[in-house]
Structure 1
Amino acid sequence: MMSYKFPDGFLWGGATAANQLEGATRTDGKGWTTADTAQFIADPKKRMAQMLQPMTTKTVEAALNDTKGLYPKRYGIDFYHRYQEDIALFAEMGFKTFRLSISWARILPNGDEEVPNEAGLQFYENVIDELLKYNIEPLVTLSHYEFPLGLSFEQNGWQSRKTIDAFEHYARILFERFKGKVKYWISFNEMNIVMMTGYLSAGLLEDQLSADESLTQAQFTAMHHQLVAAAKATKALHEIDPAAQMGCMIARMENYADTPAPNDVLASVKSDQENFLMMDVLAKGSYPNYAWRLFAEKGAKIDQTKEDQQVLAENMTDFVSLSYYMSGIVGGDETAETSGNLLASKANPFLEKSEWDWQIDPVGLRITLNKMYDRYQKPIFIVENGLGAKDELTNELKVHDGYRINYLREHIEQIGESLQDGVDVMGYTPWGCIDLISASGNEMSKRYGFIYVDQDDVGKGTLNRYRKDSFDWYKKVIASNGQDL
């Protein structure tokens, strides 16, 4: 039993993304997105490189015309046709909220049409209504790693200021349609990852950069345009549906100093600055003082207009949210052995690792939550956290995933400790509450869910859904409001 009671109304649930579970990528008028070019690669060592690699017009067109390669995010787990079955399972667990994303190209196939695709809007309205039928609050992300390729080809994605207006138009369509139905929105998934995934997150194509422009500069330009767009979306939401709230989200990288050496400690401070930069802007209303030195060190400049400054200052986010999976180490000997974290890091000898060499650090979550609340004094929503593992379905159609239960239990305990520290945590949605296509590896074998989906890495299987041991455990956690772990 926890020593601290989770607050009444705490939003327990689970998290997903459209591009990883919906499938039906060309159904009912949906346009192509950056996620649709993500190919399954048999060699696990090469999978992360694909997620981060730059793309060109030629390589994108080759992927779209490829009839032999395997592109798992195009078929997902067929949530598009099975959402009622899946939502019923979420309701059985007692979900209070469900995090989903909307595919921009399902609403505006090219990304900037004046009139939206009604079939796309109706699909999401059906999903939202199904959630509300079970009193599950939709938590909706506007952009989650699937940018409309039409805008990449036309204006190199978020490098263009025109994309700000296109995003605001898209957001207003959704706010008008779902007014009164969606209380919680997030502008961009893990928006700080734009500095790593210029193509996936921002639709940047390397061949469309000018001869004297670096990819790094284009990523910083895209970053700024996304920040302005997020603030404009917040303004639009508050105008259209004043009862609704807008959040911003980052992938949180808690990086410890390698040693007590002052330069190592400084490296940890600078890591926080770079990690929190975009959230600092949206939660505080302006670029922090440290940003200008950071830009200079990166060889980048920001073209910030007076209008940009005003819209950022007047439309700060209502809550802050994060994904948290691991911690890392900065400073010290850069040539030392690195772990398999999303960002390369020295292995921490005090931590265990997952099957994918992600360092498991529940206390790091408490550290991060305390830092974030001290920094922003806004409610915090933990919208991703979980353990990727190779689950096995037994002959009795069971999955005994005690390792996942242990992982989640230890992290929930640290959320409870953070609440006792005085941190305002509003909800918790573990990632991949149902097995789906991995974001980085485009594989099914890296599973996170409470629900097993019978599909393998190459798309074979019945797609039948089966409750894992963690399903019943999480149901008990929610029913006890975090007291019975």
Structure 2
Amino acid sequence: MKLFPDNFLWGGAVAANQCEGAWEADGKKESICDHLTAGSRAKNRVFTSKILPDESYPSHVAVDFYHRYKEDIALFAEMGFKVFRLSIAWSRIFPNGDDEIPNEEGLKFYDRVFDECLKYGIEPMVTLSHFEIPYHLVKEYQGFSDRKVIDCFERYVRCVMTRYKDKVKYWLTFNEINFATMPMGNLEVLGIMNRENDEVANPLDDINLRFQALHHVFLASARAVIAAKEINPDFKVGCMIAHITMYPLTCRPEDMLLLQELDHIINDFCADVQVKGRYPGYALRYLEEKGVNLTFEPGDEAVLRKGCVDFYSFSYYMSNCVTTEEGHTTTLGNLLGGVKNPYLEATQWGWQVDPKGLLYTLNKIHDRYQVPIFIVENGLGAVDVRDENGCIHDDYRINYLRQHICEMEKAIHNKVDLFGYTVWSALDIVSSGTGEMKKRYGFIYVDKDDEGNGTMERFKKKSFYWYKKVIESNGGDLADI
């Protein structure tokens, strides 16, 4: 049975701070990621207010996509990508974030990247803010906690959308915006630094400041949508949610109610505002109970209503369980861990693999929002080893992706309006969570280790050839190779 539509967008994804490098090249200035040290599963990444000489900052070089983009995009084209999701580094365009005039060299770089994609018939999908807020905005304004930064963001958005209005059709406003419903989202989504040299995963948190900043991010996203429709009515703008799929550990009613509460706040709240254009009642009740007093200025509600996104995009890697009971084994995950599910296996980094959870999630999103859906991140982080012939036999990655694509087929059979899928990631890049290179996600191996050693040479993994076949068959041939 043919299920994937003929125009289905298959591809891969990256983020500028994890792939580009060239952190001070051609007029670019520091972003928040340029101040994040390397870490590991056992050691949290630290945000340092100054660049320290004895620390390693992985984004400074990353995998040098800035200088190797032609080679990399040619490899994506060989795989048959229909779409390539990437982000623009805000500090390449407006180095301080609040500049009046954009940096032409930064604009020219993305002109070249988009032209290279279009040469091969690859549709660019651009994330406007993917954990890459200019560092100056953190120092000067505490990021989006200051309403002035909304204007800075809109200036940046109007600049790049006008510049690339004939090259880019699909835009995402804020990557994994719902990260900000938790303390660990202070820095990367909101640009808030509450103390010097803080651990990103365990920061000092001012909950009122955080949710006020999130309100400003909602307004910034809405204003980006409004600007998009003015600049090119054919633009399609989406939200981007890190969907943390959860199950109750037991059938106790208390576990089900806990699940509903967490699911609402972590997964639904941000999308409800961005898709439906208003704060849901459960969120207002939650904020009231937490003692959060949001400041709404006249016109805010109208902006949110007018700036609703066109589609829903999300990342999906794993699921976890929740319970009111104590003493259960916990596990790790994307943004948020939980209680271990006894029916699931986990990756080397403790993320529980749950393909059927993707079907559940797609059904849920479709039922709740009734808008087109795009899976913009899904993949497996693993230690990949080259054999004596230089080959990488990443069958574990193929198996992971095959199982998830099978569940996507079932969702489409359920009439879910799923129109694209970009695997995380197109090639090996720096891990956002740990800052490691050894936690590899790509179809393309990059010869670089955690200490920065290596040639940066690119090598095709077994999954490269498998995904090429999947795209050629439009999802019809998922067999091994």
Residue by residue over 1:233-261, the C-alpha shift from the partner in whole angstroms, topping out at 9 and shown as x without a partner, is 00000000111110001100111011111
Partner of 2:149: 163
| Residue 98 (structure 2) pairs with residue 109 (structure 1) | no
Counterpart-to-counterpart distance in 1, 2:116 and 2:3:
30
Residue 226 of structure 2: which of 217, 232, 235 is its match?
Answer: 235
| Residue 20 (structure 2) pairs with residue 22 (structure 1) | yes
Partner of 2:319: 327
Residue 450 of structure 1: which of 443, 452, 460 is its match?
Answer: 443
1:198 counterpart letter in structure 2: N
Structure-to-structure mapping, 1:350-369, within 5 angstroms: 350-369=343-362
How far off is 1:478 after superposition? 0.3
How far off is 1:306 after superposition? 3.2
| Residue 5 (structure 2) pairs with residue 13 (structure 1) | no
| Residue 442 (structure 2) pairs with residue 476 (structure 1) | no
Residue by residue over 1:464-483, the C-alpha shift from the partner in whole angstroms, topping out at 9 and shown as x without a partner, is 10000000000000000001
Cα 1:483–1:293, aligned 2, differ >3 Å: closer, same or farther? same
SS at match of 1:13: strand
Partner of 1:269: 260
1:123 counterpart letter in structure 2: F
Counterpart-to-counterpart distance in 1, 2:330 and 2:167:
46
> What is the count of residue pairs matched by the alignment?
467
| Residue 327 (structure 2) pairs with residue 345 (structure 1) | no
Counterpart-to-counterpart distance in 1, 2:385 and 2:367:
42
Residue 296 of structure 1: which of 282, 288, 309 is its match?
Answer: 288
Residue 172 of structure 1: which of 158, 163, 188 is its match?
Answer: 158
Residue by residue over 1:133-169, the C-alpha shift from the partner in whole angstroms, topping out at 9 and shown as x without a partner, is 0000000000001111111111111100001000000
Q: Which runs of 5+ in 2 are unaligned?
A: 197-203
1:21 counterpart letter in structure 2: C
- Asked if the contact 2:347/2:382 (under 8 Å) is kept, the reply is yes
Moved more, 166-175 or 145-154: 145-154
Residue by residue over 1:189-209, the C-alpha shift from the partner in whole angstroms, topping out at 9 and shown as x without a partner, is 00011232201222112159x
Residue by residue over 1:268-306, the C-alpha shift from the partner in whole angstroms, topping out at 9 and shown as x without a partner, is 111221121011001001111111111123321221223
| Residue 100 (structure 2) pairs with residue 100 (structure 1) | no
Structure 1 length as normaliser, TM-score?
0.94
- Asked if the contact 1:22/1:79 (under 8 Å) is kept, the reply is yes
Counterpart-to-counterpart distance in 2, 1:389 and 1:155:
38
SS at match of 1:360: coil
Residue by residue over 1:69-89, the C-alpha shift from the partner in whole angstroms, topping out at 9 and shown as x without a partner, is 111111010000000000000
SS at match of 2:376: strand
Counterpart-to-counterpart distance in 2, 1:179 and 1:298:
42
- Asked if the contact 1:365/1:415 (under 8 Å) is kept, the reply is yes
Structure-to-structure mapping, 1:416-431, within 5 angstroms: 416-431=409-424
2:72 counterpart letter in structure 1: D
Counterpart-to-counterpart distance in 1, 2:326 and 2:148:
40
Structure 2 length as normaliser, TM-score?
0.95
Residue 58 of structure 2: which of 72, 77, 81 is its match?
Answer: 72
Counterpart-to-counterpart distance in 2, 1:278 and 1:26:
33
1:37 counterpart letter in structure 2: H
- Asked if the contact 1:259/1:332 (under 8 Å) is kept, the reply is no
How far off is 1:214 after superposition? 5.7
- Asked if the contact 2:177/2:270 (under 8 Å) is kept, the reply is yes
Partner of 1:224: 215
How far off is 1:341 after superposition? 2.0
Structure-to-structure mapping, 1:373-452, within 5 angstroms: 373-452=366-445
SS at match of 1:353: coil
Q: Which runs of 5+ in 1 are unaligned?
A: none
- Asked if the contact 1:22/1:76 (under 8 Å) is kept, the reply is yes
SS at match of 2:382: coil
| Residue 194 (structure 2) pairs with residue 206 (structure 1) | yes
SS at match of 1:77: coil
Please provide the CA RMSD for this pair.
Answer: 1.3
SS at match of 2:246: strand
Residue 42 of structure 2: which of 42, 45, 49 is its match?
Answer: 45
2:41 counterpart letter in structure 1: P
Runs of 4+ off more than 4 Å:
none
Cα 1:238–1:334, aligned 2, differ >3 Å: closer, same or farther? farther
Counterpart-to-counterpart distance in 1, 2:385 and 2:166:
41
How far off is 1:4 after superposition? 4.6
Cα 1:299–1:180, aligned 2, differ >3 Å: closer, same or farther? same
- Asked if the contact 1:4/1:416 (under 8 Å) is kept, the reply is no
- Asked if the contact 1:4/1:420 (under 8 Å) is kept, the reply is no
Moved more, 291-300 or 11-20: 291-300
How far off is 1:334 after superposition? 3.5
- Asked if the contact 2:323/2:339 (under 8 Å) is kept, the reply is no
Moved more, 366-375 or 337-346: 337-346
Partner of 2:298: 306
- Asked if the contact 2:146/2:213 (under 8 Å) is kept, the reply is yes
Counterpart-to-counterpart distance in 1, 2:28 and 2:438:
27
Counterpart-to-counterpart distance in 1, 2:253 and 2:54:
54
Moved more, 74-83 or 303-312: 303-312
Residue by residue over 1:380-416, the C-alpha shift from the partner in whole angstroms, topping out at 9 and shown as x without a partner, is 0100000000000122111000000000000000000
How far off is 1:432 after superposition? 1.4
Partner of 2:199: none
Counterpart-to-counterpart distance in 2, 1:293 and 1:355:
39
Residue by residue over 1:6-56, the C-alpha shift from the partner in whole angstroms, topping out at 9 and shown as x without a partner, is 011100000000000000000011111110111123x53123xx36xxx6x
- Asked if the contact 1:4/1:419 (under 8 Å) is kept, the reply is no
Counterpart-to-counterpart distance in 1, 2:220 and 2:245:
27
